[in-house]
Amino acid sequence: MVHEREAHRTCGPIMPQGGLQATEVMLYTVDIINSLNIMPKGLNIGVYILDDCDTDTYGLQQAVDFIKGSISNINDEDEYKCEDGSSPQIQNKVISGVVGASSSVTSIQVANLLKLFKIPQISFFSTSVCLAVKLKLTKDSGVADSKFYDDIVKELQMKSKAKGVIVFGSDQEVAELMKAVKRNNATGQFSWIGSDGWSARALVFEGHEAEVEGTISVQPQANPVHGFEDYFLNLTVESNKRNPWFVEFWEDHFECRHTQGLETPYNIGYKRICNGKERLTRENTKFEAQLQFVSDAVMAFAYALRRMHEVTCGLNYVGLCAKMNPIDGEILLGYLRKVNFVGLSGDRFKFNEQGDGPARYNIIHYKQIEVGVYKWVTVGFF
């Protein structure tokens, strides 16, 4: 996802950390892979990035683009028209693998589609499975209004013995839940046990510190991707033409209108024009803590493709041999399961027998360390 979910639109505002930064770390990792010649001689790895806007139904719709190259009878020429009325010649590329989505619900939906066409998928932020729960935070962007969350809180209040509440959800969903807790005067009534999808996310706790206080949760252990922060801080709209969403991020970050930006529902309130002197700095930029997992996912595909090429085409073969054109996703999956490498964070990465990445977690607690000052504190590891 690059944008947040929005109740009455297909996509909401730009998501600076888990969205835009995740996109950039993917591009950065691809640059490193190609510059270090991790791929076989004569081959580079590339990306085709789509935005699911943190919505499972829209994400599934977007994922259809990934399979078009695997279906010979899909014709997009009638769907798109040039300015002169003619139809463009469109060649749908065969996708070798998919990285994402970030949410578990969307990942499961997309996986159900991709498996029909044997396209392997690595979901970098998804760590939970669908659970049968009575109070389920909806993923339908057209349903989750404030009344929905108010009803959840009121139902919890009716359960006199309900003190501890386990919440599986995204930061956007739980932010709405905490707003409902405040509206319904339920602050302090419940102790929250959070999933890693929302704990330690500013969207949840900023402005709702008292409601979130006391939360116990887990966070996957992650280290910074070497070189990425310097790369990101040196980006500008003028230098970053390959990311179509970067100008939108720039406007959101500096609260100004850029001459290269399109009008959106989220920038029409900015009266100031960006003057070209704005720069990203460590002081004005917060970095997503789990970007390592995005980078590791991309690296895993690169190492799997390299090993597959060595075995299928031969060690000294330059370019893509006929046996790998197109790439067999089922065979590639076998090589993915066997990757073992040191990623750009310096940590070793490999999948376990269940196909999961390394299980390293911090146990964290949100507490008031002094009057009016709240902080996430690490209280354990596993």
pLDDT at residue 66 in the model: 79
Q: How far is CA 89 from the centre of its chain?
A: 32
272 pLDDT higher than 80 = yes
268 pLDDT higher than 60 = yes
Per-residue pLDDT tens over the stretch 113-169: 888 888 898 888 765 433 323 344 444 444 467 888 999 999 999 988 888 999 988
pLDDT at residue 95 in the model: 82
Mean pLDDT computed over 193-201: 84
Residue % of the chain over a pLDDT of 90: 55
Beta bridge partners of 273: 257
Question: What's the token pair of residue 7?
Answer: 């109740």
Arithmetic mean of pLDDT over the chain: 86
Residues 6 or more apart whose Cβ sits within 8 Å of residue 157: 184, 186, 189
103 pLDDT higher than 70 = yes
Question: What's the token pair of residue 26?
Answer: 């993917």
pTM above 0.75, yes or no: yes
Mean pLDDT computed over 89-96: 71
Asked whether 53 and 137 are in contact (CB, 8 A), the reply is no
Which of the given ranges, 74-78, 92-96, 123-127, 180-184, has the highest pLDDT on average? 180-184
| Other beta carbons within 10 Å of 102 | 25
How far is the C-alpha of 381 from the C-alpha of 289, rounded, in Å?
Answer: 16
Domains of the chain plus CATH, in order, are 3-73+92-128+225-350 (3.40.50.2300), 138-221+360-381 (3.40.50.2300)
* Cβ burial, residue 328 (10 Å; 0-12/13-18/19+): middle
How far is the C-alpha of 133 from the C-alpha of 1, rounded, in Å?
Answer: 25
301 pLDDT higher than 60 = yes
Q: Where are the alpha helices (DSSP H) in 115-264?
A: 146-158, 171-183, 202-205, 209-212, 228-233, 246-254
Per-residue pLDDT tens over the stretch 6-44: 878 889 999 888 889 999 999 999 999 999 999 999 999
What 3-state DSSP class applies to 301?
helix
**Which helix (H) or strand (E) covers residue 313, if one does?**
helix 291-313
Question: What's the token pair of residue 214?
Answer: 């006391």
Per-residue pLDDT tens over the stretch 211-228: 999 999 988 888 999 999
Residue from 235, 182, 237, 239 nearest 211 by CA: 182
Question: Residues 198, 201, 205, 206: is their CA dihedral positive or negative?
Answer: negative
How far is the C-alpha of 64 from the C-alpha of 72, rounded, in Å?
Answer: 14
How far is the C-alpha of 80 from the C-alpha of 257, rounded, in Å?
Answer: 30
pLDDT at residue 81 in the model: 66
pLDDT at residue 137 in the model: 41
